[in-house]
Amino acid sequence: MKQKVDELPLFPVRCWQFRAPSDLVDKTEEMARGLNYKCYNNPGGVGTCDDIHELEEWHDLMAWFQSCVDTLHAQENWHCDRLVINKAWVNRSDAKSGDRHHPHRHPMSYLSGIYYVTGASEAPTVFLDPLDKREWAGFHLDGGPIDNQVFYHGGRGGLILFPSWLVHATVENYSDVDRYSIALNTFPTGDINFGGWDKPMAKVKVQGWKKDIGALNLSEYK
């Protein structure tokens, strides 16, 4: 007899996707292509310093990033006054260079993001399974070995937000086009980690935050 089944996902990794307005997509690509890249990614590629969120010319994009983060903050009811963008930088890997970014995570951040300036159809982002014990399974009854990585082909103008502890990398760029992306980190501000008696366990300020980037009054976070 066929029985009713209720699936119970345990330890899922939740990520969120957004799509930028078309005018912002075009403007961002033009700006990214005109930058002077001084920092190097190991083992390949170049990038900017991690403070573009504080530069006036990036205000419109950062305001959109922040609105996406604010949407999640309200939706998920995270225990902090706000998650603010505290680092952001542009990455470039040149066409046919074989440049890539090694597996890494983003420490000192709660939520991180990747914005695809030019898309990543030929050099996708690779997210690695945090439950590596699944590789040790003695039986593979679903048709083959367990795939412990996801190749994410971010489209031009797409933003993916994910937990900062999630290990990720990029595939070597052997395509005919330069690959541009923007990475961002966030940090909780204000009263955070509400515990017993609904009292916060800490109060946090983020230095260098541009208080005019979003609707919330951040005058105390200068």
Q: Is 139 inside any structural domain?
A: yes
Range of the domain at 104: 16-204
Q: Is the pLDDT of residue 217 over 50?
A: no
Angle at 58 between CA 52 and CA 60, to 5 degrees: 140
Q: Is 4 inside any structural domain?
A: no
Q: What is the CATH number of the domain that holds 75?
A: 2.60.120.620
Q: For residues 200 and 220, which has the higher predicted lDDT (pLDDT)?
A: 200
How far is Cα 154 from Cα 174, in angstroms, rounded to an integer? Answer: 17
**35-39, 90-94, 143-147: lowest mean pLDDT where?**
143-147
Q: Is 211 inside any structural domain?
A: no
- pLDDT band of residue 219 (cuts 50, 70, 90) is very low
Q: Is 8 inside any structural domain?
A: no
Which among 183, 157, 161, 187 has a CA at the least distance from the CA of 170?
183
Q: Which residue has the tokens 């075009």?
A: 26
Q: Which residue has the tokens 């799509």?
A: 19
Please compute the mean of the pLDDT values over residues 95-121 and round it to a whole number.
92
Q: What is the pLDDT of residues 117-143, one digit of tens each?
A: 998 888 999 999 888 766 666 566 666
Q: Is 149 inside any structural domain?
A: yes
How many domains is the chain built from? 1
Rounded percentage of the chain residues whose pLDDT exceeds 90: 57
Q: Is 80 inside any structural domain?
A: yes
| pTM for the predicted model, two decimal places | 0.85
Which among 119, 123, 132, 133 has a CA at the least distance from the CA of 99?
123
Amino acid 136: pLDDT: 66
3-state secondary structure of 16: strand
Q: Is 212 inside any structural domain?
A: no
Amino acid 191: pLDDT: 82
Amino acid 218: pLDDT: 39
Beta-carbon contacts of residue 125 (< 8 Å; ≥ 6 apart):
114, 151, 152, 154, 160, 168, 169, 170
Q: What is the pLDDT of residues 156-196, one digit of tens each?
A: 999 999 999 999 999 999 999 999 999 999 999 988 776 66
Q: Is 55 inside any structural domain?
A: yes
Q: What is the pLDDT of residues 18-62, one digit of tens each?
A: 999 999 999 999 999 998 887 776 666 788 888 899 999 999 999
